Structure 1
Amino acid sequence: MTALAALDQRTAGRSWQRACLPVLPATVLVLLAVLGPLLAPHPSDQPVTAPYGTAGTDAVLGGDQLGRDVLSRLLHGGSALIASALTVAVVVTLLATLLGCFAVLSPRLGRFVERVADTAILLPPVLGIMLLAMAWPGGGRLAITFAAIVLGTPYAVRVVASAAAPLGTAGFVEAAIARGEGTAHLALREILPNLRATILALFGLRFVDAVYVISMAGFLQLGPQPPEADWALMIRENGPGILLNPWAVVAPGLAIGLLAISVNLAANTLAPAAARRAAVR
């Protein structure tokens, strides 16, 4: 028994290491973006080189169109993007989870949610972002965050409802109904714990989608406005000088891509573990 216990412990340790390894890049990138303003060598709005200056001692990645340090603006530009994308992912996942779980138990609500979702999905994302951003007083990052929530929720609801549909007629749900449990108990205590893997994977997808939506809006100048340090805005501002200092465009583009890929990889890695915990239940 002792040998078996030691073997199980070593196997669990290796599984934990395999699970942590894909999560590490996302963790490092998020921490770097959050702590970036403290690590930046220069203020984000201070010129330190000539316009589109090449990399040097004062500016490791060179300067942008106004001679501001690209590295400093890169370190300043990630925290707001991550905060906005995280807000979108949390709100969309929460709304979709609640609506999806309750829609399975209520045919009338289910039909209503399905029709609204089908209609909303038909709206082109770019057009929806432009309409909501322009209608929002003052526009800006808050408007884009709201637009991403509105446009992302219908698809997410369909995903959760599809995953929850087989659980609505499961034996443990019928047993709870026979005990006289209410709809809230059935949705939150019986169905929801069995959707952990789906919800975690959905959260990762919504975060990645929010990063791309907010970045696209920034590139179109519908969200953050100059002189704010923003990765997507940096790409748009420095596009004309990409041949003079490629890092002014390549660095923020790589940051957006690596953030999206690493967070999605982390969510996909953690989802099977959540599924195993739900199965044990």
Structure 2
Amino acid sequence: MLRTYAVPGLLVAVPVLLALLGPFFASGDTGKDIALTLGGGHWLGTDHAGRDVWNEVLLGGRSLVVAALVATTGTYVLAVPLGLVAGMTTNRLLDESIMRPLDLLLAVPSMLVLLLLASTAPGVWWVLVGVVVLINLPDVVRICRTSALSVSAGPAVEAMRLQGESRARIGLTHVARSMRRTLAADLGVRFAGAIYLVASASFLGVGISPQVSDWAAMVDRNRAGLFVQPWAVVAPAILIVMLCVGVNLVFDRWLRRRPVAPEVV
């Protein structure tokens, strides 16, 4: 089992540990030194403004990783109950009242929502997280609803109803558990999408200060000098890619090791 998760675990652990623990090891020295090449006390050189690239890497991951993690968690906390209710209800009006507003939101391009809403409160962290949750919510609710519809139409749910089980108990004990594989398959992609949205906001300077230490903002600030000082762009970009790929590989390996349980009547 350790061998199965060794590579994905390493891909996730490196950027996560740098993001969470990096600020404790970062230098508090704000002095700037133009030394684009490696050495001179700068492991990865400096960026165009004289900031130490390695120090910026240590400082720049927490905002991106924590925002993506909180946004993904918030999305599922809201989407799973809504999807269960919409998928199991026999009241068509209730189903329509949940799904149609989300369909309207789904029709609006995600980047347009990000720009319109996050720009209303630039620099406010929780607003950016809320916008990412709002963008991802329609897709996850639809996935949960479709999965709940499929499971609730099965013979096991019908048998539980005949035994007098309440709809809430059926939803929590059987339908929600049966949705785990579907949600796990979506979770890795959704987390990567949340990183993409948070990074896009940082790249565009929406929701954060343009001068804040942030991996995505580093890519934006230093892309013009990519061929002069590549590490200022390559180092944060590699960490973002490692995290996205690693999370998806972890869930992929987990799904492969868990056989599909047959439905018991």
Equivalent pair of 1:102/1:183 in contact (CA under 8 Å): no
Deviation readout 1:152-184 (Å, 9 max, x if unpaired): 000111112122221111122112212222222
1:37 to 19, 23, 39: 23
Shift of residue 190, structure 1, vs aligned partner: 1.4
SS of alignment partner, residue 119 of structure 2: helix
Q: Partner residue of 1:17?
A: 3
Change (3 A) 1:119 1:26: same
The letter of the residue matching 1:112 is S
What aligned pairs does 1:1-281 form with structure 2 within 5 A after superposition? 15=1, 17-40=3-26, 42-43=27-28, 46-50=30-34, 53-107=36-90, 108=92, 109-136=94-121, 138-274=122-258, 276=260, 279=262
- 2: distance between equivalents of 1:188 and 1:219? 40
Q: Distance in 2 between matches of 1:139 and 1:226?
A: 9
2:33 and 2:255 map into 1 onto residues whose CA distance is 46
Check conservation: 1:36, 1:75, Cα contact below 8 A: yes
Q: 1:196 to 1:273 in 2, by over 3 A?
A: farther
Distance in structure 2 (CA, Å) of the matches to 1:21 and 1:220: 32
Structure 1 pair 232/21, CA: closer, same or farther in 2 (3 Å)?
closer
Q: Is the 8 A contact 1:92 1:152 kept in 2?
A: yes
- Give ranges in structure 1 of 5+ residues lacking alignment: 1-14
Change (3 A) 1:279 1:22: farther
Percent identical pairs in the alignment equals 32
Report the Cα distance in structure 1 between the residues aligned to 2:193 and 2:172, rounded to whole angstroms: 26
SS at match of 1:61: coil
CA contact (8 A) 1:215 1:232 kept: yes
User: Which letter does structure 2 place at the counterpart of 1:56?
Assistant: G
- Structure 2: distance between partners of 1:88 and 1:98: 16
Structure 1 distance, partners of 2:75, 2:102, is: 13
Equivalent residue number for residue 6 of structure 1: none
Displacement after TM superposition at 1:47 (Å)? 3.1
Give the corresponding residue for 1:11: none
**Is the contact made by 1:129 and 1:148 (CA closer than 8 Å) also made in structure 2?**
yes
1:65-113 CA distance string (max 9 Å, x none): 2211101111111122111101111111222211112211114233333
Tell me: CA distance 1:20–1:257, structure 2 relative to 1, closer, same or farther (3 Å): closer
Unaligned segments of structure 2, at least 5 residues = none
Matched length: 262
